[in-house]
Amino acid sequence: QVLLVESGGGLVQAGGSLRLNCAASGTIFNIAVMGWYRQAPGKERELVAAITRYGTTNYADSVKGRFTISRDNAKNTVSLQMNSLKPEDTAVYYCNVDQRPFNNNWGQGTQVTVSS
């Protein structure tokens, strides 16, 4: 199993920026994909961005060009730089380390609120 500790959420005005950070401890395999998901009230959890060990990234269409995911393999950290935030980005953001079939791990979540 992997323990994930998130930081960096908060309240920001529309057009502002936030940076989310996630530190992972435990056994991280080379196959691990690290990423961020979000869940807004009344909605399903959705992928925001993900990154492989080798730097291949995947973004939700709604955040392309505004969010950037990065990863430090030596430190087992993943970050999400969020720019040009919109009210519809308001959600609880969850860090994820997916190394199935071995395990799939979630952080406790951090609230991001964007005011209009």
pLDDT for res 98: 96
Cβ atoms of 87 and 114 within 8 Å: the answer is yes
Q: Which residues contact 94 (CB under 8 A, 6 or more apart)?
A: 6, 36, 37, 38, 39, 45, 106, 107, 108, 109, 110
Taking 50 as the pLDDT cut, the residues of the chain under it are: none
Percent of the residues in the chain that have a pLDDT greater than 90, as a whole number: 96
Query: What's the mean per-residue pLDDT of the chain?
Result: 96
- Residue 34, token pair as written in the block: 């690290």
Separation between Cα atoms, residue 12 and residue 87, nearest integer Å: 9
Separation between Cα atoms, residue 94 and residue 105, nearest integer Å: 10
